[in-house]
Structure 1
């Protein structure tokens, strides 16, 4: 079974995924370009301040590559953008934890400082939230394409006027008729 086959393809949530990937990609692209134009040392563990964060050439390059991936996801759109947002957001959060452990050590090859760690956590959660929006929840509305795809029999039986309410929770009876 292919994961892509399990997801609805054409839905209005694709705009949210595209906007999120595009905006976060542009922010990272600007940060990376500012770092590279400053001529930062590539593997400096102390780093230089760029846009309020510590950076070196390697972090600038990684930021640009990540930005290109996010912007490509925004161009492709749909479930691809959502999946890219979730993966990149998760990697940002993991990077925050790893680099938090490496602060003030010789292994801090990305020249992270506490503001970088906080930025990594915040940006990771923002990117992942854009990717998960309307896709991951225990109480998706019945007109949500992901809910409809996961419950095709129930979705087909719903009267036309009842598609906008929240999905019934398993084991909880609906309103009496």
Structure 2
């Protein structure tokens, strides 16, 4: 005879799932952090890419062409311009879009750093990476992730933070009721 087990959860122990695309109030100050992060990183990448394109380096050249101490070629320059422009789009849109874009691109930069590290001194190194490019990719990735996650994750978010409210709706409702009394 099979028995069925029922578990009872207290109402206050509900699990609340917070999604990355939750709505951030338009005027929330966190949006400015996401915009500034996207804009700064976009500016750096755009400048690097444009300088590389102006230098007329071959598209898949694997020589020693450098811009600001980083090896480059035409492909890396075009890629840098495209990602820089994408970050500017994130800066203009702001809010959760900019935050999520920063996080996703940050992870991609970290992964690209590992790929570049694996391709050093091989024929598969079509972006002409050297160790300084790998380190740059890691730094940009970490900065983008930091800008994207700022105010979204952490154990000490303030109670007026929209992400804290989304994770703790019962407590947020209780605090709102207490504030209205």
Q: CA deviation at 1:66?
A: 0.3
Q: TM-score, normalised by structure 2?
A: 0.84
Instruction: Report the 3-state secondary structure (helix = DSSP H, G, I; strand = E; otherwise coil) of the residue aligned with 1:6.
Output: coil
Q: TM-score, normalised by structure 1?
A: 0.85
Deviation digits for residues 59-97 of structure 1 (CA, Å, limit 9, x no counterpart): 000000000110000000000000000001110010000
Matched, 1:34 2:51: yes
C-alpha distance in 1, partners of 2:64/2:107?
Answer: 24
Q: Which runs of 5+ in 2 are unaligned?
A: 1-16
Q: CA RMSD in A?
A: 1.9
C-alpha distance in 1, partners of 2:63/2:143?
Answer: 27
Q: CA deviation at 1:126?
A: 0.5
Q: CA deviation at 1:149?
A: 1.9
C-alpha distance in 2, partners of 1:46/1:16?
Answer: 38
Q: CA deviation at 1:136?
A: 1.3
Q: Which residue of 2 aligns with 1:142?
A: 159
Deviation digits for residues 20-56 of structure 1 (CA, Å, limit 9, x no counterpart): 0001100100000000000001011234111110000
| Aligned length, in residue pairs | 161
Q: Which runs of 5+ in 1 are unaligned?
A: 162-177
Which one has the largest radius of gyration?
2
